Amino acid sequence: MTLLTQRPAGQDTLSPNQQLLPLTAQANALDHLEIGGCDVVELVARFGSPLYIVDEVTLRTACQQYQAAFEQYYPGPFQVLYASKAWSCLAICALVSQEGLGLDVVSGGELVTALQAGVDPARIYFHGNNKSAPEIDLAIRTGVTLVVDNDWELEQVCRGAEHAPVRIMVRFTPGLDCHTHAYIRTGQRDSKFGFDLDALAGVFQRLAQRPAVQCVGLHAHNGSQIFALEHPQDLAGILVDWMAKGMAYGLPLTELNVGGGLGIRYTTADDPPSIAAWVQTVAKGVASACQQRQLPLPKLLCEPGRSIIGPAVVTAYTVGSSKVIPGVRTYVAVDGGMSDNPRPITYQAEYEAVLANRLGAAATETVTVAGKHCESGDILIQTAHLPPTVPGDVLVVLATGAYNASMASNYNRVPRPAAVLVHASEASLIVRRETYTDLLRQDCLPSRLAP
């Protein structure tokens, strides 16, 4: 049984985050994997490998499902923000903006990318625990909303407000500990992000004395790749309680941002809740908390990243060498690895793969998919069930849209991959493949060392 035949009927009605394959994935007459009407084997022949392949239908569907769910379940105003740290490039930012989403950015580079892609500054929110003074100045000049994370930033923002009004939100750590990898938890008290709860009253008091700093809301976030729905529900009550306390200081708090964190399906064993179920939990939690406290409904914001871009992308590799260790394991090496997907070595992340050029072949072997880098930990998949492989096969790792391209590196001086957007049988290049010339572009060789 292949991953295609395992998909439930009526797949177009399911949340993209609940599927391993993009919505348009199918086997064509050549028994090749086809995405967006494009043969993946032909894409590799045309654009090379490794290659990020983005399915436009899956990406747009995730955006649309978030929008539709908020319209259905939340009676007040809302704004869905794409967490662009998952993957920030011009095309992705422009596409999600077309679907009505704003953007969450965490650096000057992500901010400039969003603006260059045509995103309305009024729908951009700037996060980060250590924004530089130039980044804060850029945010103020461009009119985006700053999510203030700590005392130092608050001081910088107050200085900036002496010259122009500044719109901010305040981020705090809610004290919730979700069950996910330690590196992607953000809601527990011991976190580098946000004000501690004990400090919030003092922050409110300072802001009440600074009318030029328009504190419009509060932000809190639990973490990433979360499956349990009780966490966003708990967070809603905490946010509303602190909104009430801030309003008592006279602050114009009209927005609450619950962050993101909805997980996706990376393996057949994963079972994340749907986009609609997550939104319903968040929306009902905030609405109920406001009703109990007799408060008006705030503008409700959320910041999904992984659940929007993750399922829409696959990475295609070309198989090279293999190594059989009798009684131990078989290694199958591909022409990429930790430089284009650092998540396995960083988070022990698990993935699944298929052979794009023999999609229907029986998976009769269990192998370890290794990368090409000079690092023993450069393993993409520890246990992969695949047909027998030969050099030249096109191996496709699934659900690679989130934190693969955005965390890619030039380790071992390997150029970063190209990316294509596929839709209606057309492939559009959205990120050019780096060249060796690109690798040398920023290097400087002092004259005394020149050959």
Residue 262 is encoded by which pair of tokens? 């909805």
Beta strands in 67-151 (DSSP E): 78-83, 102-105, 124-126, 145-148
Q: List for the chain the helix, strand, coil content (%; round to 5).
A: 35, 25, 40
The SS3 of residue 278 is: helix
- Among residues 289, 292, 302, 192, the alpha carbon closest in space to that of 256 is found at 302
Measuring CA to CA, how many Å separate 99 from each of 18, 88, 96, 133, 426?
21, 16, 5, 32, 20
CA distance 235 to 174: 7
CA distance 379 to 370: 4
Catalytic residue check, 444:
no
Residue 47 is encoded by which pair of tokens? 């654009």
The SS3 of residue 421 is: strand
CA distance 37 to 239: 44
Mark out the alpha helices in 214-353 (DSSP H runs): 230-248, 275-292, 306-309, 343-347
Q: Give 148-170 as a DSSP string.
A: E-SHHHHHHHHHHTTTS-EEEEE
Give the other-Cβ count within 10 Å of 60's Cβ.
19
- Among residues 300, 387, 263, 257, the alpha carbon closest in space to that of 78 is found at 300
The SS3 of residue 366 is: strand
Measuring CA to CA, how many Å separate 296 from each of 248, 277, 286, 331?
14, 24, 11, 59
CA distance 383 to 369: 8
Catalytic-labelled residue, pool 89, 158, 215, 374: 374
Residues acting as catalytic residues: 374
